[in-house]
Amino acid sequence: MQLTRRSLLTRSAALGCSLAASPLVTPVSFAAAPWDTRLVVIILRGGMDALDVVQPYGDADFSGLRRTLSGGPGSGALDLDGFFAMHPALAPLLPFWRKGELGFVQAVSTPYRDRRSHFDGQDLLEAGTSALGEARGGWLNRLLQQLPGTEARTAFAIGQERMLLMDGAAPVSQWAPGAGLAMSPQAERLAGLLMEEDPLFHAALNEALELTRQDRLPALEEEGVDSAGMMEMMAPPRGKAHAEIAAYAAEQLRGDTRIAAFSINGWDTHSGQAKGLQAALGRLSETVLELHRGVGAEIWGRTAIVAVTEFGRTVRENGTGGTDHGTGGAMMLAGGAVRGGRVFGDWPGLSEADLYDRRDLMPTGDVRRHLAWLLHGLAGAGRNGLETAVFPGVEMAGNPGLLL
């Protein structure tokens, strides 16, 4: 039996819907290639709320749809252009906006509609197709198959989980930080109990935890740390695994690596969204800042970061201070290679007649089209290959101008 994100989450349904946005293993994938630009793809698992992250406070219908969420500049959000405001948790990235190195694309989505399942939504986003099963593997791997001179970099993978985004025939490498699997004794016991009736999952968990310990112990022994100190230092990190991932990605991007892809979890904000989104956007901000610091000014000028999510959320907040699975969402762009300082996309409006299914932000753009133009500009991929092989069926049409 092949271990996949879908099978892991299906078998772990007792942990609830939020587990779909928080896979146990979060690997980072890399690819080396002959071009000189860098691309970082960040999957925001769980369905990021576009209307809270990039708040359309200039739309007359907005305030009536959000009773307590997303109040615009008067509530601490940061005005961007007189119509949109940025969530205050992204304030550390405001200097990038002012320098033209941060931007957003509003009202976009994949072709996925109506069922609003994390499983299918994430799979379709990473497959880059119009429907599941239309092409093999993920769109980043199919890009590499289109271009000459690509090669895998030596790296490590903990566990068997692989991002569909990078899955396919082209050579890639994977690495997963030990910190991503460090667990307290109580958490290890709970995970073991949940998986004890499934030999495959039980063995995979034990293997991943053991590899984590083996990865960290030699360095601690070299430093002369005693056993008590080792236990303390090997305790789970306090929410900073994303920074470790970003630092490692930056290290690789300073060398021959040209593409890095990983995910950040925590976007499934059914309740208490004000607190949950604040934390998730804080992690995203820290990730971008670490990538900027890690690659250095010269490489940053040739770097584009794109953060995408499987779907947006409902335009109306629910009774628990959250939002539910929706349709239209937003993309975030950062880096010295992007044409930032603007919100791209065609705004559909928020009157009831303008909504999708009378509940969601209406998508006016295809995420795949914007991704295709990024690949065209960064890697020199041809339009024909992008429209037929990388993103089968997508129509790139006019250049949206995301890159300098």
Give tens-digit pLDDT for 148-195.
877 765 222 222 345 788 888 888 887 766 544 455 555 555 566 655
For residue 13, pLDDT over 90 is answered with: no
Last residue of a domain, one of 236, 254, 272: 236
Domain-located, residue 395:
no
pLDDT of amino acid 171:
82
**Looking at residue 40, what is its pLDDT?**
95
Comparing 42 with 163, which gets the higher pLDDT?
A: 42
pLDDT at position 235 is 40
Q: What is the pLDDT of residue 240?
A: 81
Q: What is the mean pLDDT of residues 293-309?
A: 98
pLDDT at 8: 41
Whether residues 78 and 212 share a domain: the answer is no
Alpha-helix runs per DSSP H in 308-366: none
For residue 259, pLDDT over 80 is answered with yes
Number of domains present in the structure of the chain: 2
129 and 219 in one domain? no
Candidate from 41-55, 101-115, 191-205 with smallest mean pLDDT = 191-205
Give the residue among 62, 54, 53 at the shortest CA–CA distance from 355.
62
**pLDDT, greater one: 71 or 259:** 259
pTM: 0.81
> Are both 88 and 31 inside the same structural domain?
yes
Which one of 236, 271, 305 terminates a domain?
236
Q: Is residue 173 part of a domain?
A: yes
Least confident of 209-223, 289-303, 357-371: 209-223
What pLDDT does residue 150 have?
79
In this prediction, residue 223 carries a pLDDT of 52
Residue 133 lies in a domain: yes
214 with 315, same domain? no
> Is residue 397 situated within a structural domain?
no
pLDDT at 238: 46
Residues 76 and 191 in one domain: no
pLDDT, tens only, 14-36: 344 544 444 444 677 777 877 89
Examine residue 102 and state whether it is found in any structural domain, yes or no: yes
Amino acid 369: pLDDT: 98
Q: What is the pLDDT of residue 380?
A: 94
Determine whether 1 is exposed, middle or buried from the number of CB atoms within 10 Å of its CB (0-12, 13-18, 19+): exposed
Rounded average pLDDT over 363-392: 97
Pairing of strands 78-79, 85-86: antiparallel
Are residues 319 and 254 located together in one domain of the fold? yes
Residue 245 maps to a domain: yes
CB of 107 closer than 8 Å to CB of 345? yes
Choose between 235 and 155: higher pLDDT. 235
Confidence of residue 75 (pLDDT cuts 50, 70, 90): confident
Mean pLDDT in the chain?
Answer: 82
Domain shared by 92 and 144, yes or no: yes
Rounded distance between C-alpha atoms, residue 45 and residue 113, angstroms: 17
Q: Which of 194, 230, 196, 228 lies closest to 212 in space, CA to CA?
A: 230
- Token pair, residue 320, equals 């628990």
Same domain, 101 and 249: yes
Looking at residue 188, its pLDDT comes to 57
In a domain, 115, yes or no: yes
User: What's the domain range around 382?
Assistant: 5-180+240-390
d(CA 244, CA 177): 7
Query: Does position 376 have pLDDT exceeding 50, yes or no?
Result: yes
pLDDT at residue number 45: 92
Q: Supply φ then ψ for residue 5, to 5 degrees.
A: -60, -40
User: Does residue 400 form part of some domain?
Assistant: no
Q: Distance of CA 99 to CAs 96, 239, 296, 338, 383, Å?
A: 5, 29, 16, 11, 30
Are both 93 and 141 inside the same structural domain? yes
State residue 264 phi and psi, 5-degree precision: -125, 130
Q: Which has the higher per-residue pLDDT, 254 or 240? A: 254
Question: Which pLDDT score, from 0 to 100, does residue 113 have?
Answer: 96
Q: Is 128 left (phi over 0), alpha (psi -120 to 50) or beta?
A: left
Model confidence band, residue 222 (pLDDT cutoffs 50, 70, 90):
low
More confident call, 19 vs 370: 370
- Pair (109, 250) in one structural domain: yes
pLDDT higher than threshold 60 for residue 285: yes
Q: Residue 327 belongs to a domain with what CATH number? A: 3.40.720
Q: Judge whether residue 140 has pLDDT over 80.
A: yes
Please tell me the predicted confidence (pLDDT) of residue 370: 98
* Residue 129: strand, helix, or coil: coil
- Do 300 and 170 share a structural domain? yes
Residues 257 and 125 in one domain: yes
Residue 394 has pLDDT above 90, yes or no: yes
Q: Is the pLDDT of residue 348 over 90?
A: yes
Percent of the chain having pLDDT more than 70?
75
